[in-house]
Structure 1
Amino acid sequence: MNPRSTKWLLLLLVSACSRGSFGGEVTNPDTAAPEKTGGAATGGDATGAAAPAVKHERVVFHWTSGDDSLSGRLKTKLPDGESFEGRYHEITRTATVDQYDEFYNAWYADPWMGPRWYWGGTWPYYDTVEEFITRNTGKVVATLDGDRGDKMRCHFTLDDPDRGIKGGGTGECQLSNGDRITSRFEPQ
């Protein structure tokens, strides 16, 4: 291959991928709200002890999209030093079950099963992959593995689904240790 062809090939490969980053905030929902007894918030537990301080720590997510702009890699490093990395994918109306089987199976398996995990509101349980796809069309889903054995699952609502993750949006991630990360990312 001549040098000119190599230059064009590299330019084509670089233009096919996009990169970006966005911020988030780690919180622990177990300490985020005071317990309620008798209908009134006490600000602590039933013994009157003060509730633990709510953790609010900033994190940065870095993403790299593939050539289809619908999927790519997502990574972050938490304040405690644990690094997470994994795949993300935007769910589209034309999605097929085999494209999202892996995400669905990871989201509704260990460690996400049991009474500790919240299945309402922003993290509902879907009985089938088809329902998972229907309810998350136009959103980005991600599953990340930590370098210390923890797991993270994320979902982001896009401001402009036609632009993908580059179009900005909001989202939330759950960690297998119970922490949550909320994020807002601006269009690029």
Structure 2
Amino acid sequence: MNRRELRRAVTPRVPRWLLLLLMSACSRGSFGGEVTNPDTAAPETGGKTTGGAAAPVVKHERVVFTWTSGDDSLSGRIKTQLPDGESFEGRYREITRTTAVAEYGDVYNEWYADPWVGPRWYWGGTWPYYDTVEEFVTRNTGKVVATLDGDRGDKMRCHFTLDDPDRGIKGGGAGECQISNGERITSRFEPQ
């Protein structure tokens, strides 16, 4: 038996239809975002404000999110790494009109528990507090929501408004994430 025959005998052949099915069941993509931290201020050279204090400069740094959709294309995994090296990973879900409200109880409970308690987390109404899971689902239908855990103990919550909810996260959109350390990330992603 020569090498080629041995390789064929040892290597299992996966049927082409199974490969196509597996490839169509999952989608992958990435999009960028910009981290801003209003609490981190560096003195601006020469930029004096009234009273002689230096005007604060808010840092802006780029990050990349990668996502992988599950079988239903309405949910999957999303991850990113901040410029300081902290990695975040978690589950995302698209909220649709046909999904049962009970399926989002865990997201609702994570979003409105520690560390997300208090008015400092609701920047100008973009992150309103909803009294019930039903209201949360109604107000976020057609959006993707995610909760990610950091490898250093921080948490991140994200919401993205989709350009084409029928295509899910693949259809593009824009959104924002909050990190429990006070930073936030704004992003815009193009259709794939």
> TM-score, normalised to structure 1's length?
0.87
What is the root-mean-square deviation in Å for CA atoms of aligned residues? 2.2
Structure number, greater radius of gyration: 2
Tell me the alpha carbon deviations over residues 87-114 of structure 1, each in whole angstroms, 9 at most, x when there is no partner. Answer: 0000001121221011100000000002
- Paired with 1:139 and 1:29, the residues of 2 have a C-alpha distance of 26
* Mapping 1:127-142, distance limit 5 Å: 127-142=131-146
Which of the residues 123, 126, 137 maps onto 2:130?
126
Aligned: 1:27 with 2:36: yes
* Aligned AA (2:89): E
In 2, are the aligned partners of 1:74 and 1:87 still within 8 Å (CA)?
Answer: yes
Q: Who is 1:99 aligned against? A: 103
The change in CA–CA distance for 1:177 and 1:43 in structure 2 (over 3 A counts) is: farther
* Aligned AA (1:148): R
- Paired with 1:85 and 1:101, the residues of 2 have a C-alpha distance of 20
* Aligned AA (1:29): P
Structure 1 residue 73: Cα displacement = 0.3
- Paired with 1:21 and 1:52, the residues of 2 have a C-alpha distance of 32
Which of the residues 164, 169, 182 maps onto 1:165?
169
> Which structure 2 segments of 5+ residues have no match?
1-11, 42-46
Q: Who is 2:27 aligned against? A: 18
> Which structure 1 segments of 5+ residues have no match?
33-41
Structure with the higher strand share, 1 or 2: 2
- Among all aligned residue pairs of Structure 1 and Structure 2, give the percentage whose two residues are the same amino acid: 85
Structure 1 residue 67: Cα displacement = 1.0
Which of the residues 54, 78, 97 maps onto 2:58?
54
In 1, are the aligned partners of 2:38 and 2:59 still within 8 Å (CA)?
Answer: no
